[in-house]
Amino acid sequence: MSYLLSALLVAATALVWLLFVTLAPDSADWAPVLRDAASFLTALSVARFVEVLVSTLVDDSDGNSRTTDLVKVMSSIVIYIAAMLVWLHYGMAFDITSLLATSAIVSLVLGFALQNTLGNLFSGLSLELERPLRVGDFIRKGTVEGEVVALKWRSIFLRTPNGSSIVLPNSTLATDAVEVVRRGQSVRTAVSFLVPDRIPPMRVFKVAEEVLDRGVPGVAEDPLSSVVLIGPEPETGTMRYALRCYTTKPIDTTSLASRVLTALWYAFDRQDIPMTGESRDAIAPALPQSPAFLGNLAGLGRLLRFGPGETVPPQLAGFVVDGGLHEEVLSHEIDLDAELAPILGAVFGPNRLPLIPPTAIRHIARQAALFLGPVAFTLADHYGSLTTDPYLLYHALASRIPDALDRQRFLSNAPDRPLRHISPGDAFGWASRLQVETIATRKRTVVYSADLLVLDEAAAAILADHPEGEALRARILASSPLLEALGPELLAVRLAKNSGEPVES
């Protein structure tokens, strides 16, 4: 748009000069008017050319400003004032000495009237010269904190962690100390938690470091995070610890602390370490309303709770009591066309609840939008309400991409394997436990949360010939095609002996 205005201005200047050249010799009345108009437009054109040149120098190749708009505003004011003074002096033969003297008096009066505004203006100039912060940086000044979204000639616009906006005058940054975190720079945050003082600190450190080794979304890998003991809380009989981690998104520290504490809670719960402000004995987790499918066998195993995104250790075997897991499926165990048929054939109806986390659906939809446009978000929401498997969601969206090469590029982002959803009551991990397939063949990931009843070898032996174990053994058989091939009798033998000998075909 700016280049179009510049072109129109140059065209108008050339037209007026052409009229002056052609009409001036024949019309003494129009000659002065055309000459003055042409000289005025010439001054504006030159000023506009210099303004565009300055704008090009401060912008990068993508058109994004490398500096604030203050430089552009101030330079434009100076350029156009200079152009008008030159036009008045040379084009209109006007004595600008008196004008400059008068403007000095006017400037003095305005300076007193606009001292706050001018203070912000010159503070903005000092910030521009020193360049202590840029768009995308995070700043904290007292109780005010946020991400810089715009640097104006009078103030700075911040986006707070709550999503609201704050307008901060430039003068406040020039007079007071301000904490600045550069965009992309790692900043440390401390997440504190309490553990009863009877728990050995080294045990707490071990569990917390295992959580860090597995990784928490949003926590930077470098610098390394650490866990420290802050000190006792005598009034509650607890010890206060802090997990010191780094993040490149300081505006998201509240959500980061929530994710860290959630991961710590599940890890400590599996080790019978309560996170509490009261000193109390560890309470073994109880089954929430013991499911009917367990009958009287609920006491055979131990309940372990896992949080969102955690990977269940491959050596565990048992039953899902609450929540759900995603288990990888081998390529030969799935008929992709048959799995996609009900998804692609479903009609668009009322809004359904998503079966895949909404953040994952949005992420996949943004990738598909490169090939399908905005309709990708509608399709992703529709398909995401019909399957729990991101692998199938990718392939359902890919079926809508007409070009084979684009389809291949999109599917390059898809998971390597499809997933099977393991619901409450389903068995898991028994093919590895009974060694009919190699351990860690399948990765199992928690969807939102999962309460798992885990059975050891002794409990499995009891399950083999227990009168009420037939229904559970049927669930174990249904958990894997390899176990179905065994049949009930061989499964019972395997459970009783748990020998791990190869199965005869």
DSSP string covering 105-151, please?
Answer: HHHHHHHHHTHHHHHHHHHHHHHHHH----TT-EEEETTEEEEEEEE
Residue 57 confidence (pLDDT): 67
Residue 204 confidence (pLDDT): 92
Per-residue pLDDT tens digits for 276-288? 755 444 444 444 5
d(CA 380, CA 456) in angstroms, rounded, equals 41
CA 484 to chain CA centroid, nearest Å: 42
- The answer to whether the pTM exceeds 0.85 is no
Q: Per-residue pLDDT for 329 more than 90?
A: no
Higher-confidence residue of 421 and 64: namely: 421
CB 206 within 8 A of CB 268: no
- The region that residue 79 occupies, defined by phi over 0 for left and psi between -120 and 50 for alpha, beta otherwise, is alpha
Q: Domain 134-181 carries which CATH code?
A: 2.30.30.60
Residue 280 confidence (pLDDT): 45
Q: Per-residue pLDDT for 289 more than 80?
A: no
Q: Per-residue pLDDT for 501 more than 50?
A: no
Q: Per-residue pLDDT for 360 more than 70?
A: yes
Q: Determine which of 88-102, 359-373, 393-407, 476-490 has the lowest per-residue pLDDT on average.
A: 88-102
d(CA 75, CA 64) in angstroms, rounded, equals 18
Residue 24 confidence (pLDDT): 61
d(CA 500, CA 493) in angstroms, rounded, equals 11
- Cβ-based neighbour number of residue 310 at 10 Å: 21
**Span 292-328+420-497 CATH architecture:** Sandwich (2.60)
Residue 134 confidence (pLDDT): 79
Opening angle at CA 288, ends 286 and 293, nearest 5: 105
Average pLDDT over residues 421-431: 89
d(CA 365, CA 155) in angstroms, rounded, equals 37
Residue 411 confidence (pLDDT): 92
Higher-confidence residue of 263 and 179: namely: 263
Residue 287 confidence (pLDDT): 47
Query: Over the range 95-115, which residues count as b (16 or more CB within 10 Å of their CB) and which as e?
Result: eeeeeeeeeeeeeeeeeeeee
d(CA 410, CA 424) in angstroms, rounded, equals 33
Average pLDDT over residues 83-96: 68
Q: Which residues pair with 260 in a beta bridge?
A: none
pLDDT band at 502 (very low <50, low <70, confident <90, very high): very low
d(CA 320, CA 423) in angstroms, rounded, equals 7
Residue 357 confidence (pLDDT): 81
Q: Return mean pLDDT, the chain.
A: 78
Q: Per-residue pLDDT for 108 more than 90?
A: no
Residue 393 confidence (pLDDT): 92
Strands 187-196 and 238-247: what pairing?
antiparallel
**Span 187-270 CATH architecture:** 2-Layer Sandwich (3.30)
Cis peptide before 223 (omega within 30 of 0): yes
Q: Per-residue pLDDT for 366 more than 90?
A: yes
Give percent above pLDDT 70 in the chain.
Answer: 76
Residue 207 confidence (pLDDT): 92
Q: Per-residue pLDDT for 505 more than 60?
A: no
Q: Per-residue pLDDT for 54 more than 80?
A: no
Q: Determine which of 89-98, 311-320, 357-366 has the lowest per-residue pLDDT on average.
A: 89-98
The 3-state DSSP class for residue 316 equals: coil
Higher-confidence residue of 119 and 442: namely: 442
Residue 295 confidence (pLDDT): 67
| Domain regions of the chain by residue span | 2-113, 134-181, 187-270, 292-328+420-497, 335-417
Per-residue pLDDT tens digits for 122-167? 555 555 655 667 788 888 877 788 888 887 766 788 888 877 888 8
Per-residue pLDDT tens digits for 368-403? 999 999 899 999 999 988 888 889 999 999 999 999
- Tokens 């710590």 -> residue: 264
- Cβ-based neighbour number of residue 503 at 10 Å: 13
| The token pair that represents 51 in the structure block | 């303004």
Average pLDDT over residues 281-304: 64
Q: Per-residue pLDDT for 80 more than 80?
A: no
